[in-house]
Every structure is written in structure tokens, then in C-alpha cells.
Amino acid sequence: MNVCVFLSAADLDERYTRPARDFAELLGKGGHTLVWGGSDLGLMKVVADGVQEAGGRIRGISVDFLRECAREDADEMVFAADLAQRKALLLGRSDAIVVMAGGLGTLDEATDIMEQRRHGLHNKPVVLLNTAGFYSGLVLQLRRMEEEGFLPVPLEHLVFVTDDGARAIAYLEQVIATN
């Protein structure tokens, strides 16, 4: 399975890096390929290292203006002209999406991927990995949107929310196997 992971390139503390590393090891040991933003910095590096060290493959999709941050030992590295093209390539080369802790770019990617799913532009499973309660506020807002009629489909049709990496992978494997 090719798993796109949206996450931060920032250096974060142990409450984010340890669960990210554990998740990456599960991906690699499961024989899955990481599809990610291609950076060799911060949480992106932690996850790519973990997948590689556990025997998985890594496929980076970066943008031209971040070329100097790109990982050099990726199994594949593609450079998009801009962020919109990068998002399209990330989605196109993945079977499933996991959203981990991140900043504005990650939030943009997460909401874009859910909006595309809402419109039926893709049917790939999406997981919001709520490490250390990072996305609890967003989940609260999404539930409010659902309750007040702003989401025309149930939230669970758009995204699976969990704080457990093993549960996230089990969910993805189950959905992919039944599709």
C-alpha cells in the first residue's frame, strides 16, 4: 500500500516524534511505501527514517522551491512546479492518506483532501492521526460543522480519527482490502 502522510517539516518534541517514529516503523514493517513531501527535516525526516529502517520504501514529492531540503536517499523523488501540483501528485500516487501533526500546509492538505473526498473526486481512506490531542480542536469544529448542516455527508465518511498508529494502519489495510 502506498500511504501518503501529510506532516510537518518542523523539529518537534518527543510527544510527537515518538508516536511518529512508531507509526513509521509499522508502515515499513508492513511493507508499505511512504509517499510524503520529500523533506529531510523535522517530523518528515523522523517518519522517512523510520520507514526506511523498518524495510519500507519512501517516495518523495517536493516542490522546486524546497529542492535544497529534499531527501537525497529516497527511492524516488519528484519535484512539482508548485504546491497545487504537489498535492495532486501526492494524492495520485497514494492508496491512502494519513494526516499527522503539522502546520498550515498540513492543514491545507488535510482539508483539501477531505473536500475532494466529499465531492467524490477520490475514494481513498483518510486518517487523522490525533497524536497528543493535536487535532482535537479541529475534530470538534468538524463535528460542529456536521451537526449544524455544513457537511452534507457524515464526518465518518470523510475521515477516520484515531490517536493510535496501529489502529490507523489496521483501518487503512481493512478499507483497501475491501475496495
User: How far are the Cα atoms of 43, 82, 110 from residue 56, in angstroms, in the given order?
Assistant: 17, 27, 24
SS3 state of residue 12:
coil
Angle among Cα 155, 160, 163 to the nearest 5 degrees reads 130
Average pLDDT value for residue range 19-27: 97
pLDDT at residue 81 tops 90: yes
The CATH number given to whatever domain includes residue 84 is: 3.40.50.450
pLDDT at 174: 96
How far apart, in whole angstroms, are the C-alpha atoms of residue 100 and residue 58? Answer: 17
Confirm whether 1 is domain-assigned: no
Confirm whether 53 is domain-assigned: yes
CB 47 within 8 A of CB 20: yes
The pLDDT tens digits for 38-55 are: 999 999 999 999 999 999
Confirm whether 135 is domain-assigned: yes
Average pLDDT value for residue range 54-68: 96
pLDDT at 140: 98
Confirm whether 51 is domain-assigned: yes
pLDDT at 30: 96
Per-residue confidence at 158, pLDDT binned at 50, 70, 90? Answer: very high
Report how many domains make up the chain.
1
Per-residue confidence at 159, pLDDT binned at 50, 70, 90? Answer: very high
Confirm whether 2 is domain-assigned: no
DSSP 76-126: EEEEESSHHHHHHHHHHT-SEEEE-S--HHHHHHHHHHHHHHHTTS----E
Which residues span the domain enclosing 115?
Answer: 8-178
Confirm whether 54 is domain-assigned: yes
Per-residue confidence at 160, pLDDT binned at 50, 70, 90? Answer: very high
- The whole-chain average pLDDT of the chain stands at 96
pLDDT at 179: 79
Confirm whether 151 is domain-assigned: yes
Per-residue confidence at 36, pLDDT binned at 50, 70, 90? Answer: very high
The pLDDT tens digits for 98-118 are: 999 999 999 999 999 999 999
Confirm whether 30 is domain-assigned: yes
